[in-house]
């Protein structure tokens, strides 16, 4: 009957096909009508391979819910099956909530729509939200502290300068020199703690323009034994961003990679676009991904959970403000930074939505 025809129509459904939520449709006999690509990825099965198998054969874990599925069709009532644990081929099991919704298709057939919501994704979203709140609280505290230091510091430096003008003794002048130098050092720290003060001034620009600017800026001081590999996707379209903030982000990450490799090593600058990427609770159709990867020793293990916190550093002359500032500026652009590190390979990925105002709230 119409099973083949229906499968063909479902297979061409661009909306379900492009959703990042895993979706499956079953007919009245609980046979597969359709699996979207997100569902194939989540469950580690292939729609083509499953064909029109009964659901308990295609995904044995769902077999024990068959009678509940049938009841849903009979009663026409939707329900949510919480915490369904699915084992998958060669992969970690996954915990999902399964929303089961009966519907009648255009031919009058009673079918079932199953949506699989990954609990890991929920956890990730709440972790991200928690991190944002924490960053916000840290920033406010640091800014308050920086303001308190700023004014007396200016007075201190001014007084030392006046004093230096009044004394002739070279040895005593050395002391005022120390006060002025140390005050300047503190001033730089305070400026870092205050962070960017202007809201982003966004204009249409290309991400490579900012990356290339940073590469040229940093390359001037690099030793010849540090290789920089560029792996750009030239098809990435222009997008709305604050040029100087984007430069600051890449400068901080690139600077860390240069510090990490030391005398010699490789740094890769990679750009890609990525479809359907969730940041916070917003699902974006298209994001830019900028990878800055180095083959240095990796982030010290004990620092890994807190490198985005302010004043966390392993460098004698570091302020530990590079990553929190980069993270903050990326947030101002609706994006996120992710990091993966092991000895010999550290990867920072900056995700920037190409459509910051057109994300879909889940």
d(CA 133, CA 284): 21
Among 265, 296, 310, 322, binds Mg ion (CB under 5 A): 322
Site string for Mg ion, 249-288 (x = CB under 5 A): -------x--------------------------------
Contact residue for ligand ADP among 27, 176, 252, 327 (CB under 6 A)? 252
Q: Looking at 42, 114, 307, 330, which residue binds ligand ADP (CB under 6 A)?
A: 307
The torsion of the CA quartet 239, 18, 122, 302, rounded to 10 degrees, works out to -60
257 binds, among ligand ADP, Mg ion, none (CB under 5 to 8 A by kind): ligand ADP
Residue 264 binds ligand ADP (CB under 6 A): no
Query: Binding to ligand ADP by residue 257, rule CB under 6 A?
Result: yes
CB of 164 to ligand ADP, least distance (A): 30
Of the candidate residues 60, 63, 155, 318, the single one contacting ligand ADP (CB under 6 A): 318
Residue 260 interacts with ligand ADP (CB under 6 A): yes or no = yes
Taking the least distance from each CB to ligand ADP, the nearer of 236 and 325 is: 325
CA distance 279 to 131: 13
If the CB atoms of residues 192 and 242 are measured against ligand ADP, the closer one turns out to be 192
Residue 319, binding choice from Mg ion, ligand ADP, none, Cβ under 5 to 8 Å by partner class = ligand ADP
Number of residues that bind Mg ion (CB under 5 A): 2
Question: What is the contact surface with ligand ADP in residues (CB under 6 A)?
Answer: 252, 256-257, 260, 294, 296, 298-300, 303, 307, 312-315, 318-323, 346
Question: What is the contact surface with Mg ion in residues (CB under 5 A)?
Answer: 256, 322
């Amino acid at each position: 009957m119409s099973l083949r025809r229906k499968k063909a129509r479902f297979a061409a459904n661009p909306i379900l096909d492009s959703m990042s939520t895993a979706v499956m449709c079953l007919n009245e006999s609980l046979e597969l009508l359709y699996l979207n690509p997100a569902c194939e990825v989540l469950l580690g099965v292939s729609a083509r391979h499953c064909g029109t198998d009964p659901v308990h054969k295609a995904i044995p874990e769902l077999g024990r819910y068959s009678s509940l599925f049938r009841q849903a069709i009979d009663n026409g009532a939707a329900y949510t099956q919480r915490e369904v644990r699915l084992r998958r081929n060669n992969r970690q099991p996954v915990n999902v909530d399964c929303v089961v919704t009966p519907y009648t298709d255009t031919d009058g057939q009673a079918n079932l729509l199953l949506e699989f919501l990954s609990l890991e994704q929920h956890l990730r979203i709440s972790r991200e939200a928690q991190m944002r709140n924490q960053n916000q609280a840290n920033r406010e505290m640091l800014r308050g502290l920086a303001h308190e230091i700023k004014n007396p510091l200016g007075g201190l430096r001014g007084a030392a300068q006046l004093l230096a003008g009044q004394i002739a003794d070279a040895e005593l002048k050395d002391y005022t020199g120390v006060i002025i130098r140390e005050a300047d050092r503190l001033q730089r720290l305070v400026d870092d703690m205050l962070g960017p003060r202007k809201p982003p001034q966004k204009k249409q620009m290309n991400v490579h323009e900012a990356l290339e600017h940073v590469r040229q800026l940093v390359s001037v001081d690099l030793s010849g034994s540090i290789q920089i590999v560029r792996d750009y996707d030239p098809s990435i379209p222009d997008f709305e961003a604050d040029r100087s903030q984007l430069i600051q982000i890449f400068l901080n990450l690139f600077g860390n990679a240069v510090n990490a490799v030391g005398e010699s090593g490789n740094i890769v600058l990679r750009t890609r676009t990525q479809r359907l990427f969730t940041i916070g609770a917003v699902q974006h159709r298209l994001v830019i991904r900028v990878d800055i990867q180095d083959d240095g020793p990796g982030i010290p293990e004990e620092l890994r959970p807190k490198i985005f916190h302010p004043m966390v550093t392993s460098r004698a002359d570091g302020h530990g403000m590079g990553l929190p500032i980069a993270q903050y500026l990326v947030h101002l652009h609706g994006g996120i930074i992710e990091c993966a590190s092991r000895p010999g390979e550290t990867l920072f990925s900056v995700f920037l939505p190409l459509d910051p105002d057109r994300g879909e709230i889940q």
